[in-house]
Each structure stands twice: as structure tokens, then as C-alpha cells.
Amino acid sequence: MRPLTKGETHILFTKLANYTGTSLNSLISPLDNAPGSDRFVFRLHKDRVFYVLLSIANLATSVSRDKLLSLGVCLGKFTKSGKFRLHITSLPILAEHARYKVWVKPNGEMPFLYGGNIVKAHVGRTMADCPEHQGVVVFNMNNTPLGFGVTARSTTETKHLDPTGIVCFRQADCGEYLRDEDALFASG
């Protein structure tokens, strides 16, 4: 396990900023203003990026690399081509710091959780002034995070869509815990 390089950090922060906006700073700021206070850091183990407290990351250095399976919250992984792909395991962090949100009606929850995109008929509400191709976190009407995706249209364009028009392209959903359980936590 090691800290991210500058290039890896730039790729990771670019991806996270698409979902969090300016609240990205709060992900890495110290937990309190006391000198020497603990903070969260990003660590790379194999090809996966973990979000973990610095004190725990320092303790994990005593575990050999081949014995260490996971540490903290797995945000995603770097692909062989050098791109970063967010995993569904990053949903609690994205939901807490999300800049834009989409709420789906009860009749749209299951199609989304089965891997489908969100159509206008399933949108309960959305945040105003959301641009096109912006990262959003998807919630049900009870404010439970279900997944995340990328908007297909801006909020103003969405108003003029027909009910079957796609509003949000799915990137990840909670159904992946069941559909992809063999590959989700596998190393390599």
C-alpha cells in the first residue's frame, strides 16, 4: 500500500470533483483544528484506491502486502489504461458530499437497481441548474442513496423530454453488490 502519485491524484480528484464539486476539499481536510489531528488520506493497494484515516493507514504498514485485502473504503480502481473507475463502495462518501442529486420515484427504483438508466417518468425531483454530463448521486424519495450516474441532459432540457427520454446514465447502483459480488472485491 502506498500514497498516490501526482498523476494518479490528479486523475482521482478530477473524477471525484465531477460528483462533489467544491466539497472535495472537505474530503481531505483535518477532522478538527487541533494540531496533529487525524485526517483521511487516499492509498493505493494493487490497483484499488482506498479512503482511510491516516492513523489506520500508518498501522497497516505492518501488514505485508500479500496479506492485506482491504483497508478503509474502496473508492474504485485504476484500469490498465490509466483511467479511474468509481465503485459502488464509494457511494456513502459520494452521497455525503454530492453537489447534484436526483430522486427517483418508487416505480423507478427497481429498474435502476437492475442496471437500467433513469428515464424522465421515474424522476421524482432533481436539483435545479444541473448541467449536462455532470455526475449525480441517485436517491429514492426517502433520501436513501441508491447509486450514481451522469446526467444525459441539463435540468432545463429535461423538462421538454418525453416520459421515456433518458435523464441519467447509470454508472453504479446498489444492485451491483448482488450482480457482481464475485468480481467486486476480487484483487487483480
pTM, two decimal places: 0.87
* Domains observed in the chain: 2-92 (3.10.450.220), 100-178 (2.30.130.10)
pLDDT tens sequence across 51-101: 999 889 888 888 888 888 888 899 999 999 999 999 999 999 999 999 999
Please give the full DSSP string across 60-78, using - where no structure is assigned.
Answer: HTTS-TTT----SEEEEEE
Nearest-angstrom CA–CA distance, 79 and 77? 6
Nearest-angstrom CA–CA distance, 100 and 23? 12
